[in-house]
């Protein structure tokens, strides 16, 4: 006969009619213990990355940043004035809505979609001296079509992006299955990277001073480009990419170049603010510009 003894944590609480275990959440094992800090070995690995003695230390602000200085000396105060609206109030973007609880099935149901859209929009905050829009960075996305047949093309594209931006590149893999294009998920298709801070400024000044003024097929960025929330994207053709100095001065090594998409990220809340900012950084725009939908809704136009 097997005797199974039930473990009981508290006899008195059972007697009192309560469950026999604690309902209080445990406090043990909630704090992650980093054992390397306890061990006396490898003292240099315990230093924070901001310490020069740490192997992770990277020197920062090692040279002048022209774009940053230009922004702070010239653009920032102008942008404050341009974007100023008297008695401005926050414009609430459409958010997810609560159910009216007319049905018992509404309990615990995920919130309803925002009216007229699928994803909620952020609230547009009133402009003050604290939130003047600034340039955050660039992300580069290079999808190479010929990499379907020749995966080496994707590697060459990765190298090209790395040479142009001087930053770590990450591979792009196909996500979808499109049999007519012979595209299958998991195929190596190109390269991507994201630049912020000084490298982004360096890239932007190369682009606006050396590349775009000489590009034949570049008229400017379309005024209709943008994701509504202050990020503006445009493309560079394979021919234009040849004008980057890293490639131009080493033509023999680059039999093929690959065009790519650039997204300029700004902290602007709406696209027209981002365009004003980017025009100050030397990027031309063309085409008709519309009043953004969020503002039209807010003003009841």
Partner 1 sequence: MFGAARTVQKSGANLQFVRTKRIRAGLDPVAQRVVTQLSVISANRKMPKMLKLSKEDFVKHVTVMRAWGVVRKEKKQAEEAQLKQQYESIKEANEDLKHVSQKLFEAANKLEIGKRFPLELRVPTEYPSRSGWFYDYTPRKL
Interface residues with partner 1 (CB under 8 A)? 52-53, 55, 64, 66-67, 69-70, 72, 74-78, 80-86, 128-129, 132, 151-152, 155-156, 158-159, 162, 168-169, 205, 208-209, 223, 272, 275-276, 279-282, 284-286, 289, 291, 295
Q: What is the DSSP string of 87-142?
A: T---BPPP--B-----SGGGTTPPPBPPTT-SSPPPPBPPP-TT----EEEEEEEE
With CA atoms as reference, report the closest residue to 48 among 35, 40, 58.
Answer: 58
Tokens of 42: 């490898």
Minimum gap (Å) between residue 154 Cβ and partner 1: 10
Minimum gap (Å) between residue 102 Cβ and partner 1: 40
Tell me phi and psi for residue 189, to 5 degrees: -120, -10
Choose between 151 and 185: whose C-beta lies nearer to partner 1: 151
Choose between 25 and 249: whose C-beta lies nearer to partner 1: 249
Residue environment code for 54-84, b if the CB has 16+ CB neighbours within 10 A, otherwise e: eeeeeeeeeeebebbebbeeebbeebeeebe
Each as own residue / partner, the long-range contacts of residues 277-280 (CB below 8 Å, 24 or more positions apart, any chain) are: 277/75, 277/79, 277/133, 277/134, 277/135, 278/135, 278/221, 278/232, 280/71, 280/74, 280/75, 280/78, 280/79
Minimum gap (Å) between residue 265 Cβ and partner 1: 19
Choose between 177 and 256: whose C-beta lies nearer to partner 1: 256
Choose between 74 and 112: whose C-beta lies nearer to partner 1: 74
Q: Check residue 244 and report its DSSP letter.
A: S
Minimum gap (Å) between residue 86 Cβ and partner 1: 4
Count of Cβ atoms closer than 10 Å to residue 189 Cβ: 22
Choose between 180 and 288: whose C-beta lies nearer to partner 1: 288
Choose between 8 and 250: whose C-beta lies nearer to partner 1: 250
Task: Return the SS3 of 182.
Answer: coil
Minimum gap (Å) between residue 289 Cβ and partner 1: 5
Please state, in angstroms and rounded to a whole number, the distance separating the CA atoms of residues 114 and 178: 32
Minimum gap (Å) between residue 10 Cβ and partner 1: 55
Task: Return the SS3 of 196.
Answer: strand
Minimum gap (Å) between residue 162 Cβ and partner 1: 6
Choose between 159 and 247: whose C-beta lies nearer to partner 1: 159
């Amino acid at each position: 006969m097997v005797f199974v003894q039930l473990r009981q944590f508290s006899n008195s609480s059972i007697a009192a009619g309560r469950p026999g275990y604690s309902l209080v959440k445990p406090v043990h094992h909630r704090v992650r213990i980093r054992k390397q800090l306890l061990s006396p070995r490898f003292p240099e690995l315990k230093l924070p990355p901001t310490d020069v003695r740490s192997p992770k230390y990277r020197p920062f602000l090692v040279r002048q940043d022209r774009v940053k200085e230009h922004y702070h000396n010239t653009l920032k105060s102008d942008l404050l004035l341009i974007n100023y609206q008297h008695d401005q109030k926050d414009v609430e973007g459409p958010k997810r809505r609560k159910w009216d609880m007319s049905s018992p099935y509404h309990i615990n149901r995920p919130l309803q979609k925002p009216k007229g859209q699928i994803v909620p929009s952020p609230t547009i905050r009133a402009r003050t001296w604290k939130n003047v829009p600034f340039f955050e960075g660039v992300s580069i996305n290079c999808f190479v079509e010929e990499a379907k047949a020749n995966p080496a093309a994707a590697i060459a594209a990765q190298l090209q992006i790395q040479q142009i931006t001087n930053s770590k590149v990450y591979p792009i893999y196909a996500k979808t299955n499109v049999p007519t294009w012979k595209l299958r998920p998991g195929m190596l298709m190109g390269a991507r990277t994201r630049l912020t801070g000084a490298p982004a400024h360096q890239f932007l000044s190369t682009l606006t001073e050396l590349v775009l003024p000489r590009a034949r097929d570049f008229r400017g960025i379309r005024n209709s480009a943008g994701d509504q929330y202050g990020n503006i994207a445009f493309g560079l053709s394979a021919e234009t990419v040849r004008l980057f100095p890293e490639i131009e001065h080493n033509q023999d090594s680059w039999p093929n170049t690959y065009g790519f998409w650039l997204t300029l990220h700004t902290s602007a809340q709406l696209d027209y603010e981002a365009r004003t900012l980017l025009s100050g950084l030397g990027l031309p725009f063309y085409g008709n510009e519309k009043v953004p939908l969020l503002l039209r809704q807010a003003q009841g136009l």
